Structure 1
Amino acid sequence: MSPFLQALPEPVAAARGVRLLLWRDDLVSPELPGNKARKLKYNLLEARRLGHGRLLTFGGAYSNHLAAVAAAGRLHGFATVGLVRGEAAGAPNPTLARCATDGMALHYLDRTTYRCRTEPAFLAELQARFGPAYLLPEGGTNALALIGMAELATEIRQQVAFDALAVAVGTGGTLAGLLTGLRGPEKVVGVAALKNGGFLKDDIDALTREATGQIFGKYMLAKDYHFGGYAKYSADLLAFIRQFEERHGVLLDPIYTGKLLFGVLDLIGQGYFPPGSTVVAVHTGGLQAWAGWHARFGERR
């Protein structure tokens, strides 16, 4: 078995006749782990092709995406600019401190201004202010990002035959990319990390249509495992993350992968996956979130 595949011998899976595996994308590239590296891969190549030496992007104060872009800039020789949602408040949190250490210039936007981040006039203003830059959307999700995520579906298929991939959903880019990489009967199950995530279906369909000209029906969006919303949590979620690490030696994060595995195990228990199924959950990284989480909430896993 691949070093990036790990069996998860969970009693509920055994009882339902489901083979549950974990793909450790958090281990594939230690300095730039998980789905963010895959989303950035072809964007970085395009930035280089267009002659850009600077990347400009957007994110919240605890954004995995900002952290990834800053790391990518350091590793691949790009200057980076991060437009952060919200006002600066004292010393930067651990996520933003890491971004600054990696060379990212951080600038704060009030929430009203931040909402303009996709408007052409505002983007032109940013180009004039910061100089020519390759623009990356919030979360890193665009058509080029889907190409990188499609490669993950191929990599997993080369290692194991599966019936379903399961992934956490924020912007929908990871799920959309996996869909474009499937060429058989396999399906994708997405566990939404934010509340009221029904709109994500339209976003996912728009992404696959932009990238491939097609809409794919082979996915299900689970919307009941958000624990109150994006970056929200409960004692039950934190206890689940602790217990999962004790059982399997794998640390999950409280924003995405903790909710993913909680949801997948609950769906297995409900009989969503037929007996005999092989389900591969994808650990997309994001563990840098713990430092910011502790600083923000004071909670320990």
Structure 2
Amino acid sequence: MSPSFVPPRRIKIGDAAAFVGSTPRAIRHYHEIGLLPEPGRGGDGRRRYGYEDMIRLLWIRRTADAGIALDDIRDAFATGAASADADGGEAIAGVLERLEHSLAEQEAELRRQRAAVRRMRTEGSRTGLLSDLVTGRLTSLPEGSLRPADLDTLLVTERIFGPLGAAVQATRFIALARNPTLRQESDRVDDAEEALDDSVAVDDPRVARVAAERHAFESALHAFIEESGLSEEDEALFDAWEAAHPETAEGGEEGADPASRRREADSMSVVEAVGKMPYDFSPARLRCGELAEELSARDAAGT
């Protein structure tokens, strides 16, 4: 340093900002939120910053770069001043601990997102939208054996009942993919139900007839699932899920529906889903579904 050069005792806001790698606007914001005390002003009425101000600005810049919120930095400095700890070390340490926990959660979320993207690239964008549990259930099927509508149904089911509910429902589509006769009958009954539009009265004989056809098809599908061993795979799914999620299996009130206890935290109840997910079903089609359920209930009761 040249002997003739004398460092300034106080500097203007522009020089302060340049030294710490910030901007005058940012420093003014620090003043506004109480993070940086207002410095003295020169004869021209402008702020002048001294050595201690610069130290504090450097602290602010470095801690902010580490991801600490300005409000947390301000509170840490306030706590440090109250405890006669000039740099607020203990308070900053607490903030850093919270920040590390937050960053760990963000890293976990990034890993989840990367896994989802990787799965979509590997499985195909539509299948990859489903969870690993569901896609794993579908891996045994030949490529292209599932229809887009099947995957859409699984996506909705996973939102309502969680991954386990969708994985169990996947059994239905696996059975249809393996049995072309059942798939053909499924298509026929689906078409018959869709024909029950708003022009069909709820007491129209077609409603009861299609309900009987639906019941007969569901019975045949259930029989195939039992005979093919798919139901045993479902039981293995339940056992594996409950072993991995004991809190889900044991939670809930005694006597509650086991399926409801298996739903993931982000899922919703069936009642909520009915109120939020639009289904364009006519009254006749809804009545058809009720009649089919009544037939199933009678079979279950042995009447």
Decide: shared fold, TM above 0.5: no
* TM-score (norm: length of structure 2): 0.25
Greater RCO (CA < 8 Å, at least 6 residues apart): 1
Question: Would you tell me which structure has more strand in proportion to its own residues?
Answer: 1
Question: Would you tell me which structure has more helix in proportion to its own residues?
Answer: 2
